[in-house]
Structure 1
Amino acid sequence: MTKVTVADGSFDAPLWLPESGSGPGLVLIQEIFGLDDYLKSVAADLAKLGYVVAVPELFWRIAPGWSATHDEAGVSASMEVAGKLDPARAVSDVLATLATLRSLPGSGGRAGVFGFCLGGSMAYAAAAEGDPDVAVSYYGSRVPEQLSLLDKITCPIQFQFGGADPYIPAEGVRRLADAVATHDGAEIHVHEGAGHAFHNHVAPMFHQPEPAAAAWELTLEFLRRTYPV
């Protein structure tokens, strides 16, 4: 666990360490469900690759310790909590966590951002407002409506979307793909037939194994290429 201090307080961010005990950092940014078994498993997977992973609690001001079930009731409750989130403060929390990871011994001063769903939008915004070494954004619903932010991003960034996502209009993803095509260091992968949160293996209502495996392999290749340990 590490403590992250921001202008209006501080919050704890759980850490996952690689076997070596140190390495470049990744800020892993939550879905609306909070720090659940799914996010913990992703953090562990990234740590096995050699990264030091920190998960900031985005809801610490409004619903400390939030974690919800992966069903219709959990989605509804989580959407209500997420609706109270101040996006600007959340991005500031992510960037503060990024700075904390960079300050850790053995990090080499390197840290990136990696987010799913809500976290995918936050990772994209953090890449635009800050200076992470790398960014990965999975199905961030606000990304297509914030295309202008792409021009501010200088680090390598990868986007993953489902081609049948009911929460993100396909036209918005197409516009993003057009913008990515002319932006150095950016890449986008759209998995046809995949819905929202298809990588979340503890959510039966969302998980789709085939696109999940394909997307993850693309992400591993991207990290090896742009942000090696």
Structure 2
Amino acid sequence: MAVIQIAATDGAGSFDTLVVMPKAQPAGVVVLVQEIFGVNSAMHALSEWVADMGFIALTPDLFWRQQKNVVLEPDQGQAQWEQAFKFMNGFDQEKGLADIAATIAHGRKMQGASGKVGTMGFCLGGRMAFKAATGTDADCNVSYYGVMLDALVAEKPAFRGPLLIHIAENDKFVPPEAQQKILAGVKGEPKVAAHVYPGVDHAFARMGGHAWDGRAATIANGRTAEFLVKHLG
């Protein structure tokens, strides 16, 4: 595990990116897109998981324009949540998407990489993975319980890369009406697959979290693994 610097394309500076390498190379790259809690312990664990699957994991610090290296833990009290929402509300999503695109470009050319790069995001990151599917050249994209996807679907975007969407049926941040709009909006899209996981809440795949659900997470993660292998090798 190492940290590298990637330059922002707008000249505003550079941002830290966590790197975890797999045992075998060359390998496809997965750009992991954080929740609202920064590059915390959950993102470190996900990076290790992605590397265990045989991919290079790149996890950029997307809140760096507000504060570098934000690390918040959702299970450590209300104050952590309040800070997280502050950073989310101050996050410029278009600049964040540009930073994701810069990370994708770096991943294509880095040592040990095969040239194929996908994105995988959670919560806010799930929204950004959706945006990456329409606004970057990523080879594939995975969205776990992405927020405000109904608004993105309403824009009737053109999908540039394949997208896998995981939706929690009881997601308190994505109510049933929003879920219906998402599912209706992507129905028939050849590049999009969406799955709803019954009886689980937002962040059901965050191991050790309050909403963790082993069955749903295993099914979702299995679909993710097959999807990444298909598109990244």
Fold shared by both chains (TM-score > 0.5): yes
Aligned pair partner of 1:28 in 24, 29, 32: 32
Aligned pair partner of 1:199 in 199, 205, 211: 205
Q: Partner of 1:133 in structure 2?
A: 139
Q: Do the aligned residues in 1 keep the contact of 2:117 with 2:232 (CA within 8 Å)?
A: no
Establish whether residue 82 from structure 1 lines up as the match of residue 88 from structure 2: yes
> 1: distance between equivalents of 2:145 and 2:156?
15
Q: Partner of 1:146 in structure 2?
A: 152
Q: Do the aligned residues in 2 keep the contact of 1:135 with 1:156 (CA within 8 Å)?
A: yes
Q: Partner of 1:14 in structure 2?
A: 18
Q: Partner of 2:58 in structure 1?
A: 54
Structure 2 stretches lacking a partner, 5+ long: none
Aligned pair partner of 1:96 in 99, 102, 117: 102
Aligned pair partner of 1:4 in 3, 6, 17: 6
Over 3 Å counting, the alpha-carbon distance change for 1:22 and 1:225 in structure 2 is: closer
Q: Do the aligned residues in 1 keep the contact of 2:169 with 2:197 (CA within 8 Å)?
A: yes
Q: Do the aligned residues in 2 keep the contact of 1:128 with 1:150 (CA within 8 Å)?
A: no
Q: Partner of 2:179 in structure 1?
A: 173
Structure 1 stretches lacking a partner, 5+ long: none
> 2: distance between equivalents of 1:106 and 1:45?
18
Code of the residue aligned with 1:222 in structure 2: it is: F
Code of the residue aligned with 1:117 in structure 2: it is: C
Aligned pair partner of 2:72 in 46, 55, 68: 68
Over 3 Å counting, the alpha-carbon distance change for 1:178 and 1:191 in structure 2 is: same
> 2: distance between equivalents of 1:111 and 1:84?
28
Code of the residue aligned with 1:4 in structure 2: it is: I
Code of the residue aligned with 1:50 in structure 2: it is: G
Q: Partner of 2:216 in structure 1?
A: 211
Q: Do the aligned residues in 2 keep the contact of 1:22 with 1:52 (CA within 8 Å)?
A: no
Aligned pair partner of 1:163 in 139, 154, 169: 169
Q: Do the aligned residues in 2 keep the contact of 1:70 with 1:202 (CA within 8 Å)?
A: no
Code of the residue aligned with 1:5 in structure 2: it is: A
> Aligned-pair distance for 1:104?
1.2
Code of the residue aligned with 2:215 in structure 1: it is: E
> 1: distance between equivalents of 2:212 and 2:39?
17
> 1: distance between equivalents of 2:187 and 2:132?
21
Percentage identity across aligned positions?
28
Code of the residue aligned with 1:20 in structure 2: it is: A
> 2: distance between equivalents of 1:41 and 1:75?
20
Q: Partner of 2:232 in structure 1?
A: 227
> 2: distance between equivalents of 1:136 and 1:60?
23
> 2: distance between equivalents of 1:162 and 1:96?
30
Establish whether residue 107 from structure 1 lines up as the match of residue 110 from structure 2: no
> Aligned-pair distance for 1:150?
5.8
> Aligned-pair distance for 1:175?
1.9
Indicate the SS of the match to 2:106. helix
Q: Do the aligned residues in 1 keep the contact of 2:116 with 2:232 (CA within 8 Å)?
A: no
Indicate the SS of the match to 1:100. helix
